[in-house]
Structure 1
Amino acid sequence: MDIERISSNEIKIKNRQRIYQYIRMNGPVSKQDLVVALQLSLPTVTQNLEYLKKAALIDSSRKITNTGGRNATAFTYLKRAKMAIGIYITAHHMNGVAVNLSGDVETMIREQQDFDLDDEGYLKKLGRLVEKVRKEALIKEEDLLGVGISVPGLVSDDGEMVIYGRTLNFTGKTKKEIAKYIPYPCRLVHDSYAAGYIEAWKNQNVKNAFYISLSNSIGGSVIIDHEIYQGDTQKGGEIGHMTVVPKDGERCYCGKRGCFDTVCRAGNLDQYTNGNLEAFFEKLAQKDPKAMELWETYLDYLALAVHNIRVLFDGKVILGGYVGAYIGEYLEELCRRVDEYDSFGEQAKDYVLACHYTKEASAAGAAVFYIDEFLEGI
């Protein structure tokens, strides 16, 4: 009897989720639309719509115009019914975003602050940033699902501890320490995983992909069947430490030489413009000789990496991070270079994509983990 009861309950939950997701993706819709599209009975649809209305997840105040008779009630989903906040901490900034149930960034705040998790003032400012984002986005405390904290390091599977934080020397720091002044549910998320996850989450046509974060350091994430593959020890996707210059390569922050990080980090470009990447791409657009020389070298290494990733994973390759925000204009040339390595008659333009989120992908991705958890639990 218990097994039958559990099975029946699971069916009810599944039907509720199907109805909600259909409204979310196709609204406004009528009851009849749901009956036909989902092949459910009218009583089942009606019962679940009532549940979703009471939970304040959908709206039924509109009508669908029907030229043949009475206008039907239109059901639409409320994307601000629940919200999540994402924080991204870097060497010199802390960035906060508010994200709705569609994964859209509604509020973005970026504050300059040197990284120092041993400073109480820094931790308090992190807490104030969360409150600032919450209030600016007009999020009620009861509607805040949680705060995802994106960090430039590897994180334990339970989101509780930084297990490798060599970039900023914070290995071993815990969520409890970092979120000391954040009074909401929190979790730590590896920045590259967060950015890659939201790219695949937003584009449901991307089933399998490798996301490359081209920022001050290089990271990556592997998406398989819409899920992040972390590997056996949470190092899946760490493309930054793939050796690409086996002899006489530059020393990486990890201590080894010739890592991909040393040839494709953003600093290899913006070193020419005093750390201003936007200024670098302005010079590149003006065909500045030095900028063009740096870019040529950069594209060569990036093309090699993209080719190798495609051979290994046979999925989409998404280019994000600071450089990825500018890559769209140069995607055709990059694809041409990738095609020179091709062994299977493929064309890179069919699988190499520029990122959707050009700003604060890591912060937004950290928030989306809470959005996803909520949607799965409806």
Structure 2
Amino acid sequence: MLYEKTTNIEVRKYNRNTIYRFIYNSKKTSKQEIAKNLGVSLPTIAQHLKTLSEEGLISEDGEFKSTGGRKAKAIVCVKDSRISAGLDITQNHISIVLVDLGGNILKNIRIEKHFENSDEYYKNVAGILCEFIENSEFRNSKILGVGISIPGIISSDKKEIIDSHVLHIKNTRCEELIKHIPYECIFCNDANAAGKAELWNEDSEKNIIYLSLSNSVGGSIYYNEKMYLGDNERAGEFGHMVIMPNGKQCYCGQKGCVDAYCSAKVLSDSTKGKLSEFFTLLNNSNKEQVEIWKDYINKLAIVINNLRMAFDCNIILGGYVGAYLDEHIDEVKNSISKYNTFEIDIKYLRVCHYKLESSAVGAALLHIEDFIKQI
């Protein structure tokens, strides 16, 4: 129910935001439909629609069929009225995306670039980012900012990279990385960003675990639709759970970590770093890849079952490996069922929607989320 009092600025803002969100979540709607669902008068709705239209956030898109009276105008969100950029920094490449208000990828690029903790590297990345935006057909859209994802732990105030084993940096001020970028920037952990991307348009899942299977293993935890970061911003570091005591060496210095058994490198190392080639050979029943895959999904099944036992919620498999799992998910589920004490049917597990640049998308969505909140 909306508030009818229009003299109060906060109430007006609440009403306006609620109307916008209703339109945002509808493919098409009308003033009458908004009034019916939100319980507010048509004049009040018309006033807010006028403002939203003047700001380019909504537009009319045809008419609905007549039900006996005047045809109602169809109202839609203009998703590309605002654009956000996402930058994912990894050890060996950078990915950049432009994303609209709906979380749709408008344009993306991936460039091989080895990370260096140097001003020259940051200046070069900023130049690539700005050139990518300026040369896009969306350069005249309003850019909300740049979200930056990295494989590391970010401080709660988003101003410091506390630790990144992958990039070999600690206690680094974020301002050092972005001083050459002429846009507002927000930092986030790469797995948390990917989890945000996966849940952006999900209405049914309030609690979720996102398991990122890339060249390092990470994840994110969503409880009651909010990200749980833990007391020290380290929640979701699933890659450093020990599943094989005194097992394989992990890059963190410990032995037997999940990362040593379930990272994408475990698969791609047999094909000179090319994960796509691994799955091509696996699908062709190549003996070496089949044996590697059997051991991989056995260890992965242990991890997934442990997460299910601990959190008792749905789990999404993402990252580089997740992008290839659609046709292999039944194998993974069959392996998990051997360990699960309570359930045989593994309905709680699914593969990621975003097959490409999910961390960059999730980082970009941070600006979009903030923007929608203040409409």
Which residue among 346, 363, 366 is the counterpart of 1:366? 363
**Which residue type is aligned with residue 223 of structure 1?**
Y
**Which residue type is aligned with residue 280 of structure 2?**
E
Deviation digits for residues 228-264 of structure 1, max 9, x if unmatched?
A: 11000000010000000013x1121111111000001
Q: Is the 8 A contact 1:252 1:262 kept in 2?
A: yes
Structure 2: tracts of 5 or more residues without a match: none
Aligned equivalents of 1:77, 1:150: Cα separation in 2:
28
Q: Does 1:282 align with 2:290?
A: no
**Which residue type is aligned with residue 297 of structure 2?**
L
**Which residue type is aligned with residue 9 of structure 1?**
I
Matches within 5 A, 1:1-378: 8-60=8-60, 62-66=62-66, 68-120=68-120, 122-140=121-139, 143-247=142-246, 249-345=247-343, 347-348=345-346, 350-378=347-375
- CA displacement at 1:132 relative to structure 2: 2.7
- CA displacement at 1:61 relative to structure 2: 5.3
Deviation digits for residues 177-221 of structure 1, max 9, x if unmatched?
A: 111210010011110110011111232222111111101111111
- CA displacement at 1:7 relative to structure 2: 10
Aligned equivalents of 1:27, 1:289: Cα separation in 2:
48
More displaced, 154-163 or 96-105? 154-163
**Which residue type is aligned with residue 93 of structure 1?**
H
Aligned equivalents of 1:82, 1:117: Cα separation in 2:
32
Aligned equivalents of 2:151, 2:140: Cα separation in 1:
28
TM-score by length of 1: 0.94
Q: Is the 8 A contact 1:214 1:265 kept in 2?
A: yes
Q: Is the 8 A contact 1:149 1:188 kept in 2?
A: yes
Secondary structure of 1:228's aligned partner: strand
- CA displacement at 1:133 relative to structure 2: 2.9
Aligned equivalents of 2:309, 2:10: Cα separation in 1:
40
- CA displacement at 1:119 relative to structure 2: 4.3
Aligned equivalents of 1:316, 1:362: Cα separation in 2:
20
- CA displacement at 1:83 relative to structure 2: 0.9
Secondary structure of 1:172's aligned partner: strand
Aligned equivalents of 2:27, 2:61: Cα separation in 1:
13
Structure 1: tracts of 5 or more residues without a match: none
Q: Is the 8 A contact 2:80 2:141 kept in 1?
A: no
More displaced, 81-90 or 135-144? 135-144
Q: Is the 8 A contact 2:151 2:166 kept in 1?
A: yes
Q: Is the 8 A contact 1:154 1:163 kept in 2?
A: yes
For the structure 1 residues 346 and 169, does the alpha-carbon distance in structure 2 shift closer, same or farther, using more than 3 Å as the test? same
Secondary structure of 2:86's aligned partner: strand
**Which residue type is aligned with residue 112 of structure 1?**
E
Q: Is the 8 A contact 1:96 1:129 kept in 2?
A: no
**Which residue type is aligned with residue 107 of structure 1?**
K
More displaced, 54-63 or 235-244? 54-63
More displaced, 23-32 or 227-236? 23-32
- Percentage identity across paired residues of the two chains: 37
Secondary structure of 1:202's aligned partner: coil
**Which residue type is aligned with residue 105 of structure 1?**
I
- CA displacement at 1:65 relative to structure 2: 3.3
**Which residue type is aligned with residue 19 of structure 2?**
I
Deviation digits for residues 35-72 of structure 1, max 9, x if unmatched?
A: 11211111221111112112210002533232634322
Aligned equivalents of 1:223, 1:333: Cα separation in 2:
26
- CA displacement at 1:129 relative to structure 2: 2.2
Q: Is the 8 A contact 2:6 2:12 kept in 1?
A: no
Q: Is the 8 A contact 1:98 1:137 kept in 2?
A: no
Q: Is the 8 A contact 1:35 1:41 kept in 2?
A: yes
